[in-house]
Structure 1
Amino acid sequence: MQQIASIATQFSALLDLSSVPEGVREGIGEQTSAFLLDIFGRIDLPSPADVPDLESMAEESAPTSWRIPGTPIRIARIAEGPREGEFLFSGETIRAAPRMFEAIQRVPLRSSLGIGTWSVAVREWTGPIIPAGVSSAIPNILRGFWWDTPIWKVLATIAMFILSALVIAFMHHALNRRESKSRIGFLLRRALTPLSILVAVPFIEHIVDLEINVTGAFGVYADTARTVIAYSAWGWLLWLILMIIVERIILFRKRPEGDFDEQLLRIFAGALGVVGGVIIVGAGAQKVGLPLYSVVAGLGIGGLAVALAVRPTLENMIGGVMLYLDRPVQVGEFCSFGDKTGTIESIGVRTTKIRGADRTLISVPNAVLADMQLINWARCDWMLINQTIGLRFETTPDQIRILLVKVREMIHTHPKIDRDTVRVRYTGPAAASRDVDIRIYALTHDWNEYYAIREDIFLRIDDLVEAAGILYAVRRWR
């Protein structure tokens, strides 16, 4: 039986299967070979003298193909591809052989192997691990055909797929039911599932193709299912590998939890993994003959509709990317936006969370925040102290002159004040006071230190005003 199966397999090598999707090429080849053996065993074949040899076909005037008399089957020279120049049964044989066999199937088969019909015998063969006694003991009700395949083989194949899925699902649940201390460990455990699928697919292929020996239309369906599952597992594994690489980068950089760089890296890796997965699955779809370009066109139209539906979310995501590229603020920085101030707590994919001065948590959509005027106080090189003090009208010009000299001297010698930008000026009488304007820069960008410096300056000014014998107006500080 194995020798007979080998003959059918070798016969497939004489077929031009270049137009058949690679994923189902083996099954189609074996099926067509069986039909050809059935046809050649029922018709009168031409004598070898009537068959053109290689030399006559190599002449320039010779035709590129030869039709077997009494049949629509042609042997043609392959014009391109890895088998260029060889003579094979033409690609049209895949469609012509089943039709011709249907027309002559009532003619007895000439065979010394005890085979009534090759196309039926091929479907009933099994591999070495299934004893002949087992296959012969199968009830007649299961010997009928579904999709050109014995019913018992269809059921056995489906059971094989279901059993493999249950084993992998159980393993997946057992590995992922306990929480992981690290995100990398969680992703590594997740990666074991697609790896298990990739290990299981060749095992299923061996059992289904060589032991159960599934052929016919159902064999094509089984080949298609295995190819789609395998390529989907590769796409899933690629996504997980990219996520693991990104987590390693984040761990190496020691970014704070909730940092926007961290989230954007994850989004980028996830998007890249999805694109790579789609490309891999698309390659698998093309391998089994699915209309890939039509599917891509349909996804493009559907993607446009989805994009319109989620436009606000996309705007916020783009706003988040702009915040990342421009970096006007970062986590932990104190800023002003609109009429509010606060400290940036996190910059997410859709919103930025800011802890307000009153300790409330403010969530601002990224698209809105990206369009607002942001004042980042954390990036000040210096911080402005701008104050007006009001003196009573009884204050004499000489007292004011002495006070200005003392205040300027005190400020110029202060270690936390920039000396080159000191401005202390008498601005003249106001409605209820004589005003002195003080405009100086504290050498800090920390708010706590800024208020400490400001406090120290004002206390020293109080001492100088008191020492000069001057009194403040009712509204002395503005």
Structure 2
Amino acid sequence: MDFKTMWNFLFELGTSLGLKLIGAVIVLFVGVKLIKFIKKFIKKSPKLNKLDDGVRSFLASFSVIALYIVLFITVAMMLGIPTTSFITALASCGVAIGLAMQGSLSNFAGGLMILLFKPFKAGDFIDAGGTLGTVTDITVVYTVLTTADNKVITIPNGTLTNSIIINYSKKDTRRVDLTFDASYSSDIDKVKEIIEGVVNSHELVLSDPEPMIKLSAHNASALTYTVRVWCKASDYWTVHFDLLETVKKEFDKNNIEIPFPQMDVHVKN
């Protein structure tokens, strides 16, 4: 092979590889931009408003992963990399990564279970194994909660689905349970009348179901009254704190004594 023939061969090879490389770079650039657009479309499109925020976030994350895999396979094909070998290598890597990331796979499976069974959705206030907060995001492998004092907590979905989950937002109404102590010398009917007046005058307390006020215990130094009222789930803490404060004020106005533990100290010389 003379120099001219070799030069022509190298020139054609370089031109071919150069064009393939340029084409692959263009496809990669356009593909990344397109994937970002699709992710944004899924999260913001009005056509998907029927889906809750958690489902849309999960769908966007899952779609991005799948599209990136397709994009890299396409680029490999354009560069002349045998797709069969590439897919085989990808599958082998997948198995190896899967064994090394069993926890992440369980988190992914947990995310699917959350979307299928919907124990909660974005915006719900939940107790997840003792961690309380409002669900702000549900992704492929983790769920984000924001606490009442504005802390952001990230919980792996695998851990979450294996925990006891209490959803305080699932129902429209909640029951507020309170107890009040009064001395044995206080008239029982008078105490119940005062508590009933406070409950009935609170605008956020629901009349149906009817509030319950009962003498529930004879303690060592006081009688205990149990109060159960219903309110909207969003009004729970407002009602809880308002009743505690107002009942105490009304007890004071009506000279209802609230006993408290006392200690006698005897001093000996």
Question: Shorter-chain TM-score category?
Answer: 0.7 to 0.9
Shift of 1:336: 1.4
Shift of 1:463: 4.6
Alignment of 1:131-146 (within 5 A): 141-143=2-4
In structure 2, the residue matched to 1:155 is 10
CA distance in 2, matches of 1:408, 1:309: 62
CA distance in 1, matches of 2:144, 2:35: 28
Contact 1:142/1:152 (CA < 8 Å) preserved in 2? yes
In structure 2, the residue matched to 1:84 is none
Letter matched to residue 3 of structure 2: L
In structure 1, the residue matched to 2:55 is 261
Letter matched to residue 61 of structure 2: I
Deviations 1:131-154 (A, max 9, x none): xxxxxxxxx8314xxxxxx31221
SS of the equivalent of 2:16 reads: helix
In structure 2, the residue matched to 1:314 is 105
Alignment of 1:22-421 (within 5 A): 141-143=2-4, 150-161=5-16, 163-164=18-19, 193-194=26-27, 241=34, 244-253=37-46, 260-273=54-67, 276=70, 292=84, 300-357=91-148, 359-395=150-186, 399-419=187-207, 420-421=209-210
**Are 1:470 and 2:256 an aligned pair?**
yes
RMSD, matched Cα? 3.8
CA distance in 1, matches of 2:137, 2:66: 24
SS of the equivalent of 2:175 reads: strand
Cα gap change, 1:440 to 1:160, in 2 (>3 Å)? same
CA distance in 1, matches of 2:255, 2:137: 53
Cα gap change, 1:244 to 1:160, in 2 (>3 Å)? same
Shift of 1:452: 2.9
Cα gap change, 1:297 to 1:155, in 2 (>3 Å)? closer
Contact 1:384/1:439 (CA < 8 Å) preserved in 2? yes
Contact 1:426/1:435 (CA < 8 Å) preserved in 2? yes
Deviations 1:348-395 (A, max 9, x none): 333323334454443321100111111222334223321211112222
Q: Higher Cα Rg: structure 1 or 2? A: 1
TM-score normalised to structure 2 length: 0.74
Contact 1:403/1:464 (CA < 8 Å) preserved in 2? no
CA distance in 1, matches of 2:248, 2:90: 74
SS of the equivalent of 2:233 reads: coil
CA distance in 2, matches of 1:344, 1:159: 55
CA distance in 2, matches of 1:168, 1:278: 13
SS of the equivalent of 1:425 reads: strand
CA distance in 2, matches of 1:369, 1:416: 33
CA distance in 2, matches of 1:470, 1:445: 31
Shift of 1:424: 0.3
CA distance in 1, matches of 2:197, 2:89: 77
Cα gap change, 1:301 to 1:272, in 2 (>3 Å)? closer
**Are 1:431 and 2:217 an aligned pair?**
no
Cα gap change, 1:156 to 1:358, in 2 (>3 Å)? same
Shift of 1:413: 4.9
CA distance in 2, matches of 1:269, 1:421: 50
Gapped regions of structure 2 (runs ≥ 5): 262-269
Q: How many residues end up aligned between the 2 structures?
A: 256
SS of the equivalent of 2:2 reads: helix
In structure 1, the residue matched to 2:267 is none
Cα gap change, 1:275 to 1:362, in 2 (>3 Å)? closer
CA distance in 1, matches of 2:83, 2:197: 85
Contact 1:392/1:473 (CA < 8 Å) preserved in 2? yes
Letter matched to residue 251 of structure 2: V
Gapped regions of structure 1 (runs ≥ 5): 1-139, 144-149, 173-192, 195-232
Shift of 1:270: 2.9
In structure 2, the residue matched to 1:199 is none
Letter matched to residue 470 of structure 1: I
Cα gap change, 1:414 to 1:337, in 2 (>3 Å)? same
Contact 1:239/1:276 (CA < 8 Å) preserved in 2? no
Greater strand percent: which structure? 2
In structure 2, the residue matched to 1:455 is 241
SS of the equivalent of 1:372 reads: coil
CA distance in 2, matches of 1:406, 1:373: 39
TM-score normalised to structure 1 length: 0.45
Deviations 1:33-80 (A, max 9, x none): xxxxxxxxxxxxxxxxxxxxxxxxxxxxxxxxxxxxxxxxxxxxxxxx
Letter matched to residue 273 of structure 1: L
